[in-house]
Amino acid sequence: MFIKPGEKIGIVGHSGAGKTTIAKLLLRFMDVTGGTISIDGQDIREITQDDLRSNISYVPQEPGLFHRTLRENIAYGNPLATEEEIIAVAKQARAHDFIIRTPLKYDTLVGERGVKLSGGERQRVAIA
């Protein structure tokens, strides 16, 4: 598999196809036992987990959100994010349009684990 710089991909497949294993390998929750994984020509085992995790996102089919506002859930990984940054990532994740249709917009509480949102909306917030 080859992923171009800046490219966003989704990994899909039937149960047992190895989707979770690929995610675990890319985030170094487990190490390669055969073959290699390279990022920019560098063996993934030489890259720290912190560096990998700051550049790779994993969104499960049922992402867990916190019983907080949409803004707080989006900014969870970066509590110092500005309003402009929050809106920009929401737009990139295609979440902004549904967010601005809610009565309180980015101040809308999502409910425990995001129950007030549809599955697709929860995924978009998690991606943002």
CA distance 83 to 102: 17
* pLDDT single digits (tens) 104-116: 999 999 988 888 9
Tally of domains in the chain: 2
Burial class (CB in 10 A: 0-12, 13-18, 19+), 124: buried
In-domain check, residue 78 = yes
In-domain check, residue 102 = yes
CB-CB contact of 86 with 76 (8 Å): no
In-domain check, residue 101 = yes
Residues 92 and 43 reside in one and the same domain: no
pTM over 0.75: no
By residue range, what is the domain housing residue 112? 68-127
Q: Specify the pLDDT at position 54.
A: 77
In-domain check, residue 63 = no
Averaged pLDDT for residues 39-56: 84
Q: Specify the pLDDT at position 66.
A: 93
Averaged pLDDT for residues 66-70: 95
CA distance 37 to 52: 12
Residues 81 and 29 reside in one and the same domain: no
Using the 3D structure, point to which of 13, 29, 58 is the last residue of a domain. 58
Residues 6+ apart with CB under 8 A from 45: 28, 31, 32
Q: Specify the pLDDT at position 60.
A: 73
In-domain check, residue 40 = yes
Is pLDDT above 80 for 58? Answer: no
In-domain check, residue 54 = yes
